[in-house]
């Protein structure tokens, strides 16, 4: 993902800069012998959403009951659960109005084909229970903030010991449930991660599946996670599990399975196995509070030094918001702080550019005098730089040193959940394009909304380039001509790239470029 960022943002900014530089609780168990009623009435009427279906089949054979889907509220979540195997089909995070794009979370697939009955324990916990002639299975689900604890208790009802081959499914990815609010660029941020030997290993660009996703991983993992732009699902088994497989279902669905492992359960004995599941926003403080090292799943970049910079900016934003509780103003203040911190480098770059421009008449004379002797011309140019104490790369280098800051800011402003559903002035959601109004037509590549912030950025950059061109008066005609082309092309090019970016990100760059233009105008006026 960082490669795309540097190409789409970093390199674009770099090219502009280069041209400007040179030219400008608890035990919740319920007795496994409780009476089971497979009738719908056994479930609370206010929590059931039934779905008509044909009798379920397992390996082509009907098993005698119809699948029912029912909804359960517990803690911060609404769960959509199937009575078939007690499988969690969907988790909805109430506060954020968000459906996680995963299903079958921490399932034991051995129990598919068995009818489960719901029983409420408290506002934060409930059980799903199934009994047949061989096994009593109780699945207890309890919620603590963003943590979901899932515990299985499997009782052997046979008169002798019996072996059960446990088949665990951490989760399945189902991207088909994502709605139209997901930007096209968001898909590049999807990834799943596994913790192996206390190190997080990542698979990026998890947005479209094919047969090549059919893979077998043999390493022992401690947890497995899937995250998108703002939210993350982390499944941590009671004990590390060895290996998993990924199976292609369709373009938007990918199944995960852990190879079966045998468990010998004595007669009338209970086998217990549990999972800790985290489903929540990617906020460092929330992930740290959950403990277990979940904060290591959150990174803004796979490059450690860039991630370090981004997390520093992320921390600064959070600290400012404690004092200034309006996220739009926080972004503006961060723009001022970052620009102020980098101003010495910016000033050095601008002054170096002015020195280079001042030498243009002499450079033109040397080119004319030694037009037939490139070697002599190079020698004279080097001597000219030396006499006037000018370093031709000093205008570019300070701006290059700022690139990690730009990219770190890009990452934080783009994928920080801070800005989701936060309004500012006319902007309804800082995590989405500003969408001033809807157009009566659809523009290719741009869409059907008029976004004012990237348009403002284009005009501010055009003004900045105009200042640069004025300061080049009397310079090399070829360079002036080339700079005129760049003065129009690059603002439009960047505006096109940024057009559908999050408004919080565009707000930052509008402020930053405004400050840059003012500084350049001030320096040009004084010198």
What is the pLDDT tens value at each position of the chain, 527 positions in all? 444 444 444 444 444 333 333 333 333 333 333 333 333 333 433 343 434 344 555 444 445 678 889 899 999 999 999 999 999 999 999 999 889 999 999 999 888 988 999 999 999 999 999 998 888 999 999 999 999 999 999 999 988 998 888 889 999 999 887 765 566 667 778 888 899 888 888 888 887 888 889 999 888 888 999 998 889 999 999 888 888 999 999 888 999 999 888 889 888 889 999 999 999 999 988 998 887 788 888 888 777 788 888 888 888 888 999 999 999 999 999 888 888 887 887 777 777 777 777 777 787 788 777 777 778 888 888 888 777 777 766 656 666 767 787 788 888 888 888 888 889 999 998 888 888 888 888 788 777 888 999 999 889 888 877 777 666 555 556 666 766 777 777 788 888 888 888 888 889 889 988 988 888 787 777 65
From residue 96, alpha-carbon distances to 346, 405, 432 in Å are 40, 30, 15
pLDDT at residue 52 in the model: 39
- Judge contact between 164 and 271, C-beta under 8 A: yes
Classify residue 47 by its DSSP letter.
G
pLDDT at residue 33 in the model: 31
Q: Is 102 exposed, middle or buried (0-12, 13-18, 19+ CB in 10 A)?
A: buried
pLDDT at residue 77 in the model: 95
pLDDT at residue 139 in the model: 94
pTM of the predicted structure, to 2 decimals: 0.77
Q: Domain-by-domain residue ranges, the chain?
A: 2-24+304-526, 53-297
pLDDT at residue 292 in the model: 76
CA angle 99, 102, 106 (to 5 degrees): 120
Q: Is the dihedral of CA 369, 372, 375, 378 positive or negative?
A: positive
* Backbone region of residue 77 per phi and psi (left: phi > 0; alpha: psi in -120 to 50; beta: other values): beta
Q: Give the burial string for 144-177 (b: 16+ CB within 10 Å, else e).
A: eebbbbbbbbbbbeeeeebebebbbbbbbbbbee
pLDDT at residue 60 in the model: 41
Q: Give the burial string for 308-333 (b: 16+ CB within 10 Å, else e).
A: ebbbebbebbeebeeeeeebbebbbb
Q: Which CATH class is domain 53-297?
A: mainly beta
Rounded distance between C-alpha atoms, residue 102 and residue 88, angstroms: 9
């Amino acid at each position: 993902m960082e490669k795309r960022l540097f190409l789409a943002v970093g390199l674009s900014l770099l090219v502009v800069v280069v041209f400007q530089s040179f030219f400008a609780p608890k035990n919740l168990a319920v007795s496994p012998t409780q009476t089971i009623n497979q009738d719908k009435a056994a479930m609370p009427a206010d929590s059931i959403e039934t779905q008509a279906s044909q009798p379920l089949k397992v390996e082509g054979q009907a098993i005698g009951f119809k699948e029912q889907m029912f909804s359960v509220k517990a803690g911060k979540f609404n769960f959509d659960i199937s009575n078939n195997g007690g499988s969690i089909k969907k988790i909805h995070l109430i506060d954020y109005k968000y459906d996680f794009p995963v299903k079958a979370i921490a399932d034991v697939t051995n129990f598919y084909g068995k009818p489960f009955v719901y029983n409420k324990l408290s506002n934060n916990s409930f059980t799903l229970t199934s009994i047949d002639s061989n096994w009593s299975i109780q699945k207890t689900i309890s919620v603590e903030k963003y943590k979901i604890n899932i515990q299985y208790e499997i009782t052997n009802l046979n008169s002798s010991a019996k072996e059960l081959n446990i088949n665990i499914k951490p989760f399945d990815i189902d991207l088909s449930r994502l709605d139209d609010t997901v930007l096209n660029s968001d898909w590049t941020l999807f990834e799943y991660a596994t913790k192996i030997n206390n190190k997080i290993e990542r698979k990026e660009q998890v947005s479209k599946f094919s047969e090549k996703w059919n893979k077998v991983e043999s390493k022992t993992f401690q947890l497995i996670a899937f995250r998108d732009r703002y939210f993350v699902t982390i499944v941590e088994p009671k004990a590390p599990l060895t290996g998993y497989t990924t199976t292609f279902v369709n373009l938007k669905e990918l199944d995960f399975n852990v190879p079966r492992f045998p468990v010998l359960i004595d007669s009338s004995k209970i086998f217990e196995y549990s999972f800790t599941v985290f489903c929540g926003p990617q906020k460092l403080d929330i992930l740290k509070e959950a403990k277990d090292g979940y904060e290591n799943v959150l990174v803004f970049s796979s490059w450690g030094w860039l991630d370090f910079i981004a997390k520093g900016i992320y921390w600064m934003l959070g600290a400012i918001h404690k004092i200034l509780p309006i996220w739009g103003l926080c972004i503006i203040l961060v723009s001022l702080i970052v620009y102020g911190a980098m101003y010495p480098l910016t000033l050095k770059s601008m002054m170096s550019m002015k020195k280079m421009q001042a030498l243009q008449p002499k450079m033109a004379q040397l080119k004319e005098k030694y037009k037939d002797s490139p070697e002599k011309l190079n020698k004279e140019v080097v001597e000219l730089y030396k006499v006037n104490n000018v370093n031709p790369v000093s205008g570019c280098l300070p701006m290059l040193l700022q690139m990690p800051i730009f990219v770190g800011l890009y990452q934080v402003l783009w994928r920080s959940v801070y800005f989701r559903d936060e309004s500012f002035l006319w902007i309804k959601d800082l995590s989405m394009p500003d969408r001033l109004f809807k157009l009566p037509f659809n523009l290719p590549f741009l869409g059907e909304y008029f976004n004012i912030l990237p348009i403002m950025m284009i005009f501010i950059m055009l003004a900045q380039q105009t200042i640069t061109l004025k300061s080049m008066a009397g310079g090399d005609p070829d360079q002036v001509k080339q700079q005129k082309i760049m003065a129009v092309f690059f603002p439009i090019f960047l505006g096109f790239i940024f057009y559908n970016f999050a408004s919080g990100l565009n707000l930052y760059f509008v402020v930053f470029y405004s400050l840059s233009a003012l500084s350049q105008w001030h320096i040009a006026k004084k010198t």
